[in-house]
Amino acid sequence: MKIKVNHKAHEFPDKSTPKEVAEKLHLTAPEQAISVSINGKLRDFTTPLTEGDELIFWNFDDPEGKEVFWHTSAHVLAQAILRLWPNAQPTIGPPIENGFYYDFGNLTISDEDFEKIEKEVQAVLDENYRPERMEFANKQEALSAFSKNPYKCELIDSFTETPISAYRQGEFFDLCRGPHVAALGKIKAFKILKTSGAYWRGDSEREMLTRVYAISFPDKKRLKEYLFLLEEAKKRDHKVLGPALDLFSFKEEAPGMPFIHPRGLIIWNRLIDFLRECLKEANYLEIKTPLMMSKELWERSGHWYHYRENMYTSRIEERDFAIKPMNCPGCMLYYRTATHSYRELPLRIAEIGHVHRFEASGALNGLFRVRSFHQDDAHLFMRPEQIRDEINQILQLADKIYMTFGLPYRLELSTRPEKSKTIGTDAEWENATNGLKGALDDWGHSYRINEGDGAFYGPKIDIHIRDAIGRYWQCGTVQLDMSLPQKFELEFVESSGAHERPVMLHRALFGSIERFFGILVEHFSGKFPLWLSPYQIKIATVADRHIPYAQELKKKFEKHNLVCDVDDSNESVGKKVRNAQLLKTNYLLTVGDQEVEDKTLAVRTRDNVVHPKIDFSEFLDIVLKERDERALMSPFSKAP
């Protein structure tokens, strides 16, 4: 029979399985063929194939591969724990962004138990079970199989579809929709990370469970690299560095709503200035819409019905209002304030809007997950034939912004979900998707396609930036929206005089500015390039008699809008140097008798190299050039 494998046609015997196909194609390395999609859906490796099937094998580096790999690993973890604590009651064990966890009832463990759990995990892996799927025709069969586990029974009762599936590996049998890796031998490295408490089904009124977090890899080298990055990430934690550098703080009086301090505001304002400079060059108009708008607006946009539990609402003069959780509806109202001609299109409207979303307290995470934040939104209105060019311009803008910070990125195109769950005609979806795909092809940057992962109102492009230690962050997004222009009855006048509906693109590049701020703190480890730095220059005096010269220098630097501080404390020079280093100061200038006499500078860079006897004008020219060019590295030093 003929089937397609990773988009290439092959001949295989009838009733071949994905496992047999992978073996014949020599996809047998531990990191290869972790999972398989058959006709767009993840399936088990034992699934019989039929004529015309299309297979995609996913490796560990693919999200689809990691998901299955880590979900299988969660079963291994549960199996090992039940061998050691037979009375524990397994509940759920999903894959997460980095690894997986499994929650247990009737289990108490500590860090001291990790080693013996890992030893038992290795025993399970050495047995190299092949996970076997079985199905229950109805709920009663499934309830009977899991009758001794109330958590599983509660899950089964909540299911609305049959059959209900479960998987067996050795003596371990678990309720699970699957799929799993073909054999446990794929898992070559395994590490327990931590344990914590977790409420059953996330409900604080329910019982507390024991959650065990872990991670696994197809080779030991990847595990070693991951553990190194974990340690590096701890050193860069923005929740530690931010307060230490006096950039921001959080208060109990405003949970999830950051206070940006004066030094943090220096960074904030430079980010906004840079963004506005980019917007002006790209011919955007900027608007500002109200923070609070009426219930009727949110009903029209759909937020009142689908997002209300995440919105802050208020009742004023017998009318319901909500603080905006996003900027889009306000921009729709702005568009409707005038009649637009086809000559105005594409019309690019930007808003750096302050939005509020209720997040559960347990989900809050420094600047990464907050309740009050700013989005660098833009809404672009155009004719269908302009989609491709507009996407190209957005990608050019994204490239300029991310490269300025030294942030490489990857692109993902998400296409139409199941047709019944979307709006718009087949022709509109095809035109929209081809516009996005064509723009990506024109751009020439590699990208992956997430089939069926678009929004109900249109396809989208997601941009994932990579920081200095290799972590990816989804920041930028470009979404084509066929819903809001329809709901708000947006129109433009065509050359024929007919009234037509514009195509609209949402786009954000920083995303949440607060979150992007936090990412930058960790990316640079607090050592910001000069143009962003809140501690650009510090002058350390050797003795009190050198203070007048230091103050004279400070005024000269500040005339050029450079941030300059003078440390004229009674501390030793060594202590002053140390204090400047703790604040990640770009340049420390030591002023003593020789510098005062010669009118020169002794410049110490962040990598602790001293450059003596530098003329002030020479140093000023160098740092102004470094700042104005937004250089990532100091011309004086090998490290940023």
Q: Tell me, yes or no, whether 314 lies in a domain.
A: no
Mean pLDDT of the chain: 93
Does residue 441 have an active-site annotation?
no
Question: What pLDDT band is residue 640 in, cutting at 50, 70 and 90?
Answer: very low
Task: Please tell me whether residues 207 and 276 are part of one structural domain.
Answer: no
Task: Please tell me the distance from the alpha carbon of residue 523 to that of residue 471, in angstroms, as a whole number.
Answer: 9
Do 388 and 438 touch, CB atoms closer than 8 A?
yes
Annotated active-site residue in 377, 462, 481, 567: 377
Q: Is 310 helix (H, G, I), strand (E, B) or coil?
A: helix
pLDDT tens by residue, 530-568: 999 999 999 999 999 999 999 999 999 999 999 999 999
* Radius of gyration over every alpha carbon of the chain, rounded to an integer in angstroms: 29
Annotated active-site residue in 186, 191, 379, 627: 379
Torsion, Cα 240 245 247 252, to 10 degrees, reads 50
Question: What pLDDT band is residue 431 in, cutting at 50, 70 and 90?
Answer: confident
Does residue 238 have an active-site annotation?
no
Lowest mean pLDDT among 150-154, 170-174, 263-267, 303-307: 303-307
Task: Please tell me whether residues 459 and 543 are part of one structural domain.
Answer: no
Assign residue 46 the CATH number of its domain.
3.10.20.30
Q: Tell me, yes or no, whether 118 lies in a domain.
A: yes
Does residue 328 have an active-site annotation?
yes
Domain that holds residue 55: 2-59
Task: Please tell me whether residues 249 and 224 are part of one structural domain.
Answer: no
Does residue 506 have an active-site annotation?
yes
CA 171: distance to chain centroid? 38
Find tokens 């160098």 and name the residue: 622
Task: Please tell me whether residues 409 and 554 are part of one structural domain.
Answer: no
Annotated active-site residue in 328, 331, 475, 564: 328
Task: Please tell me whether residues 129 and 24 are part of one structural domain.
Answer: no
Does residue 379 have an active-site annotation?
yes
pLDDT over threshold 60, residue 430: yes
Q: Tell me, yes or no, whether 301 lies in a domain.
A: no
Task: Please tell me whether residues 491 and 477 are part of one structural domain.
Answer: yes
For the chain, percent of residues with pLDDT exceeding 90: 78
> What is the length of the chain?
640
Which among 523, 546, 578 is the end of a domain? 523
Task: Please tell me whether residues 112 and 255 are part of one structural domain.
Answer: no
Q: Tell me, yes or no, whether 299 lies in a domain.
A: no
Which among 523, 555, 587 is the end of a domain? 523
Do 99 and 216 touch, CB atoms closer than 8 A?
yes
Assign residue 202 the CATH number of its domain.
3.30.980.10
pLDDT over threshold 60, residue 639: no
Q: Tell me, yes or no, whether 302 lies in a domain.
A: no
Task: Please tell me the distance from the alpha carbon of residue 458 to that of residue 450, in angstroms, as a whole number.
Answer: 13
Which among 43, 59, 75 is the end of a domain? 59
Q: Tell me, yes or no, whether 600 lies in a domain.
A: yes
Task: Please tell me the distance from the alpha carbon of residue 315 to that of residue 58, in angstroms, as a whole number.
Answer: 51
Q: Tell me, yes or no, whether 253 lies in a domain.
A: yes
Task: Please tell me whether residues 73 and 139 are part of one structural domain.
Answer: yes
Task: Please tell me whether residues 248 and 229 are part of one structural domain.
Answer: no
Edge-to-edge order in the sheet of strand 537-541: 564-567, 537-541, 587-591, 600-605, 610-615
Annotated active-site residue in 357, 374, 515, 606: 357
> Which whole-number Å values give the CA distances from 624 to 89, 169, 275, in the listed order?
64, 65, 20
Assign residue 502 the CATH number of its domain.
3.30.930.10
Q: Tell me, yes or no, whether 17 lies in a domain.
A: yes
pLDDT at res. 638:
60
Task: Please tell me whether residues 348 and 229 are part of one structural domain.
Answer: no
Edge-to-edge order in the sheet of strand 460-466: 285-286, 347-356, 372-382, 503-512, 472-481, 460-466, 409-414, 447-450
Does residue 140 have an active-site annotation?
no
Task: Please tell me whether residues 157 and 20 are part of one structural domain.
Answer: no
Annotated active-site residue in 75, 374, 460, 546: 460
pLDDT tens by residue, 40-60: 889 999 999 998 889 999 999
Find tokens 């008798």 and name the residue: 593
Residue 452 Rama label (left phi>0; alpha psi -120 to 50; beta)? left
pLDDT tens by residue, 367-386: 999 999 999 999 999 998 89
Do 10 and 2 touch, CB atoms closer than 8 A?
yes
Does residue 26 have an active-site annotation?
no
Number of structural domains, the chain? Answer: 4
User: Helix, strand, coil shares of the chain as percentages rounded to 5?
Assistant: 40, 30, 35
pLDDT at res. 251:
94
